[in-house]
Chain A
């Protein structure tokens, strides 16, 4: 019986490779040296599968051993009979061998591997394998399971039910299935954002728009953590290439040193930063002059500002986490469930001015005590572990809240007694007037009870958190010199990552000036310039047609446009017969369009071609 494991994972393909590579590494180190990774595209038939499998297994042996064993090299070079028997022979040979082997070579593998290590075969993309190949392979290997301990690992991107839809009963009953599920890719994204962006130690930061673009690509398109990281790397490259002051984007100690040694030009660059200008404007006039003219003073101030920025980040992140603790407890998550959503919201603008923040505060004022206490405890933990120095008071304050809550609990017992006694009073009265009176009194007391100690304390807590948020979660673009740390040009990123082939093709054909930069091609929208390349003319003409295009009409229109170039003097020479050269040019342009996939020959009507795209003029 072939034993068998399954990993269930997201849809993106790029990450799978990485996962499987690390998986096979782990297996190789801990369990077995015999691992084969198979992909569907390599195995259209059982024969190819066996060839691939044997190739990988036998080579892997050579890799592990690395001593140039003569007969092994020969075996791998010879045409091996690719059948299970030769595989079994190989396995027997290999597993027997280590005893006679010199121990120095084998120090790592033999100690950790089992006596007869299983052969692991990984099917990377089970969905794409053809059913027959899988079936045959499982049937064959199940017959030799005693001689060849085999573990199959299937990588499944969709649901594990696919096993049963791919394999008939008589095959699946040969398996012994165990299921492993990897974490969802959203969790991986959260980890990456947490470790990369929400750390003060890492100076480079993403602006709100850029982060949004990256997250959107992830969530909307590919679920690929690797692509996210690539996008992030692109941001880093772009930032350091395009922003001259990014020199200062480094650890604080280095940044101060660098700020000290700035050249005059670099100082000018700093002065040009919009955030710096704002800062200058807010200063008194003599300082303004000093900032704008004296380099040394500027450097001094810059160092101070950089330090401010650093402290700001440290505080920012702690308070952000703290706020996240609160918002993630609220029903319906007005500020988002994940910390990344909250981070985006806070980066975008002053978060306390948004409606969502308002509503989440409202909800926070209605939390019950146990939730509130756990949240406060979490916040205390966050602040204690944070590197910011200003939080000693905050921690004190939060702890004070906690003790007050504890006191409340004790008092609550007494209060209960009071209310019980008042109700007892109520039961005693029989007079209608008195009853009404007491009821009113009770109502009154309840209303006032709304503001009893717990309520008051709750308000206090929420207000305190609010004040923290207002103090520390100022959006980064309000900070001076934020341009040094933050990469904000989302448009560049979008251009690079969201390739739009159709749109690019359309612009190229519709408006050749955009790519060719030839002044002669600069023309108004709509009109067809005869100086444009032939294919552009043909393309523009074809936009005006319906689904089927008459080639003769098209040719005539083309020749009219092209003849327009020669001017009216050429008009006399040309008869109604189209010039051969123009005809040839036309045919070439049309076949180029066909190659690009805009048209195809149609069998519905003679001398017509069919359009494959819709839209146009």
Chain B
């Protein structure tokens, strides 16, 4: 285990930092050596990437906070326009070192203004003698902003002529960022995924005080054994661990087993974990966690209709009016059958049973792999008329149902042509859905 060493910072702080960022020691020491001492100029821009929940944001935040480096931390999703982003950086900069001083609103529309205001701010806050870090989280959003934003941030040090380092955090690789006109290449740093050992170590760290660390570690071991195959997301695993731990402890609380009785505990927890497997990532409160909350809500919200609370997966059934169902089926047929077969399938003088058999076989071979094809409105209506037994008048009701199917995202409109110009649709639902509807 490489101990963090740096001449500029006291050893105690470094040790504390090391305990806070388990399994990321090498990355942190790398960052520290790039940062250098407080007053030293650092690399102008650093690009850190890695998969979801590999600790990028967390490591950056703890590093900057524990070492008390002056920094600005901005999430690019939250400040979705360049103006908001730049203003936010300036605002944070104003309140950065001066405690609780009323921050006045700054107007900053362009990057040019930003550079000017930034210089002023740095001077007024007396930050010239140390490196200022600007961390842009979820930096992939920068690509959606004006073309100059990203290159300008990358060479902000040069543009402002101040001691500043921009750190970009992202989940995607640098190659996808690089603008076509070229730009300053940042220093890239990769945060690898946590291995199962890492996960074990990190998850075991926050064990509840009333139980021993070994007991909790054994629990984490079981949990990882079950879930590691489907989910390596640290956050999700943490959530699962918190969710199921009370169940795991039950035998111990009841006194039926002691903490070392792993076999018994495993027997007890196994069915719960299996159940939880189905809802990984879904976060349904109804499953377990919110039993109390639910009662509160239900007693508070008493509007006319009584509500049933069931798992999400229980509600796959969709209720549609009679003709909407037929419209959807017709749309499905139109999407997955080639036009030339319409005559054969939908003209009256064909045996109905033979027809459907043939159709199924045909679909399975090719068309389902190709996905839905667009079809014109008229074809949809023609098929509708032929599959509905009694006569359907083409009333406004029918047409409005088509649009409501589109808003429900069961059909989708293809092309952005004028409505008068023969609109074309696509059926976006699966065969299973159609089967359920047709029943």
A83 is contacted by which of B78, B293, B302, B321 (Cβ under 8 Å)?
B78
A180 is contacted by which of B52, B307, B323, B404 (Cβ under 8 Å)?
B307
Tell me, in angstroms, the Cα distance from A367 to B78 when the chains sit together.
67
> Given A159-B315, A179-B284, are A173 and B239 also a contact pair (CB < 8 Å)?
yes
Tell me, in angstroms, the Cα distance from A555 to B236 when the chains sit together.
72
| CB-nearest residue of chain A to B311 | A179
Chain A neighbourhood of B410, CB < 8 A: 158
Cβ–Cβ contact A139 & B77, under 8 A: yes
Chain A neighbourhood of B318, CB < 8 A: 158-159
Q: Is B320 an interface residue (CB 8 A)?
A: yes
A350 to chain B, nearest CB (A): 26
Q: Is A451 an interface residue (CB 8 A)?
A: no
Q: Is B364 an interface residue (CB 8 A)?
A: no
> Given A83-B79, A498-B395, A612-B422, are A10 and B297 also a contact pair (CB < 8 Å)?
no
Chain A neighbourhood of B105, CB < 8 A: 81
A548 to chain B, nearest CB (A): 14
Q: Is B2 an interface residue (CB 8 A)?
A: no
Cβ–Cβ contact B77 & A26, under 8 A: no
Most B Cβ at <10 Å: residue of A12, A159, A614: A159
> Given A160-B315, A164-B282, A173-B235, are A81 and B84 also a contact pair (CB < 8 Å)?
yes
> Given A11-B320, A81-B84, A127-B407, are A178 and B297 also a contact pair (CB < 8 Å)?
yes
Tell me, in angstroms, the Cα distance from A342 to B331 when the chains sit together.
34
Q: What 1/0 flags go to B309-328 for Cβ under 8 Å of A?
A: 11111011111111110000
Tell me, in angstroms, the Cα distance from A184 to B396 when the chains sit together.
24
Chain B neighbourhood of A181, CB < 8 A: 307-308, 310, 315
Chain A, 179-233, CB within 8 A of any chain B CB: 179-185, 217-223
Tell me, in angstroms, the Cα distance from A159 to B283 when the chains sit together.
16
Q: Is A140 an interface residue (CB 8 A)?
A: yes
Cβ–Cβ contact A217 & B397, under 8 A: yes
| CB-nearest residue of chain A to B236 | A173
B290 is contacted by which of A8, A125, A176, A600 (Cβ under 8 Å)?
A176
Q: Is B394 an interface residue (CB 8 A)?
A: yes
Q: Is B420 an interface residue (CB 8 A)?
A: yes
Tell me, in angstroms, the Cα distance from A46 to B422 when the chains sit together.
32
Chain A neighbourhood of B317, CB < 8 A: 159
> Given A176-B285, A177-B312, A502-B394, are A162 and B409 also a contact pair (CB < 8 Å)?
yes
Q: What 1/0 flags go to B232-245 for Cβ under 8 Å of A?
A: 01011001000000
Chain B neighbourhood of A12, CB < 8 A: 404
| CB-nearest residue of chain A to B105 | A81
Chain A, 11-68, CB within 8 A of any chain B CB: 11-13, 22-23, 26-27, 30-31, 46-47
Chain A neighbourhood of B382, CB < 8 A: 614
Chain A neighbourhood of B239, CB < 8 A: 173
Cβ–Cβ contact B306 & A179, under 8 A: no
Chain A, 501-523, CB within 8 A of any chain B CB: 501-503
Cβ–Cβ contact B322 & A220, under 8 A: yes
Cβ–Cβ contact B80 & A136, under 8 A: yes
Q: Is B59 an interface residue (CB 8 A)?
A: no
Q: Is A74 an interface residue (CB 8 A)?
A: no
Chain B neighbourhood of A218, CB < 8 A: 321
Chain B neighbourhood of A8, CB < 8 A: 315
B39 to chain A, nearest CB (A): 31
A128 is contacted by which of B286, B321, B322, B407 (Cβ under 8 Å)?
B407
Q: Is A172 an interface residue (CB 8 A)?
A: yes
Tell me, in angstroms, the Cα distance from A125 to B410 when the chains sit together.
14
Cβ–Cβ contact A173 & B283, under 8 A: yes
> Given A11-B321, A22-B303, are A600 and B236 also a contact pair (CB < 8 Å)?
no
Q: Is B87 an interface residue (CB 8 A)?
A: yes
Tell me, in angstroms, the Cα distance from A503 to B80 when the chains sit together.
50
| CB-nearest residue of chain A to B137 | A143
Cβ–Cβ contact A125 & B307, under 8 A: no
Q: Is A84 an interface residue (CB 8 A)?
A: yes
Q: What 1/0 flags go to A110-141 for Cβ under 8 Å of B?
A: 00000000000000010110000000100110
Tell me, in angstroms, the Cα distance from A46 to B311 when the chains sit together.
30
Tell me, in angstroms, the Cα distance from A160 to B311 when the chains sit together.
9
Q: Is A403 an interface residue (CB 8 A)?
A: no
Q: Is A597 an interface residue (CB 8 A)?
A: yes
A84 is contacted by which of B78, B281, B309 (Cβ under 8 Å)?
B78
Q: Is B176 an interface residue (CB 8 A)?
A: no
Cβ–Cβ contact A163 & B236, under 8 A: no
Q: Is A85 an interface residue (CB 8 A)?
A: yes
A146 to chain B, nearest CB (A): 14
Chain B, 394-413, CB within 8 A of any chain A CB: 394-401, 404, 407-410
Cβ–Cβ contact A159 & B316, under 8 A: yes
Tell me, in angstroms, the Cα distance from A175 to B290 when the chains sit together.
13
Tell me, in angstroms, the Cα distance from A12 to B323 when the chains sit together.
13
Cβ–Cβ contact B309 & A178, under 8 A: yes
Tell me, in angstroms, the Cα distance from A222 to B410 when the chains sit together.
16
B386 to chain A, nearest CB (A): 13
Cβ–Cβ contact A175 & B283, under 8 A: yes
B6 to chain A, nearest CB (A): 31
Q: Is B88 an interface residue (CB 8 A)?
A: yes
B114 to chain A, nearest CB (A): 16
Tell me, in angstroms, the Cα distance from A164 to B316 when the chains sit together.
12
Chain A neighbourhood of B286, CB < 8 A: 177-179
Tell me, in angstroms, the Cα distance from A612 to B393 when the chains sit together.
19
> Given A176-B289, A614-B378, are A161 and B394 also a contact pair (CB < 8 Å)?
no
Tell me, in angstroms, the Cα distance from A336 to B293 when the chains sit together.
41
Cβ–Cβ contact A157 & B312, under 8 A: no
Chain B neighbourhood of A552, CB < 8 A: none
| CB-nearest residue of chain B to A137 | B77
Tell me, in angstroms, the Cα distance from A158 to B316 when the chains sit together.
8
Cβ–Cβ contact B283 & A498, under 8 A: no
Tell me, in angstroms, the Cα distance from A47 to B395 when the chains sit together.
39
Tell me, in angstroms, the Cα distance from A449 to B186 when the chains sit together.
98
Tell me, in angstroms, the Cα distance from A200 to B84 when the chains sit together.
65
Cβ–Cβ contact B87 & A31, under 8 A: no
Tell me, in angstroms, the Cα distance from A175 to B422 when the chains sit together.
41
Cβ–Cβ contact A3 & B285, under 8 A: yes
Q: What 1/0 flags go to A234-252 for Cβ under 8 Å of B?
A: 0000000000000000000
Give me the interface of B with A, judged by CB distance under 8 Å. Answer: 52, 75, 77-81, 84, 87-88, 91, 105, 233, 235-236, 239, 281-286, 289-290, 293-294, 297, 300-313, 315-324, 378, 382, 393-401, 404, 407-410, 420-422
| 8 A-B pairs closest in CB distance | A499-B396, A597-B420, A221-B397, A220-B322, A178-B285, A180-B307, A183-B305, A169-B281
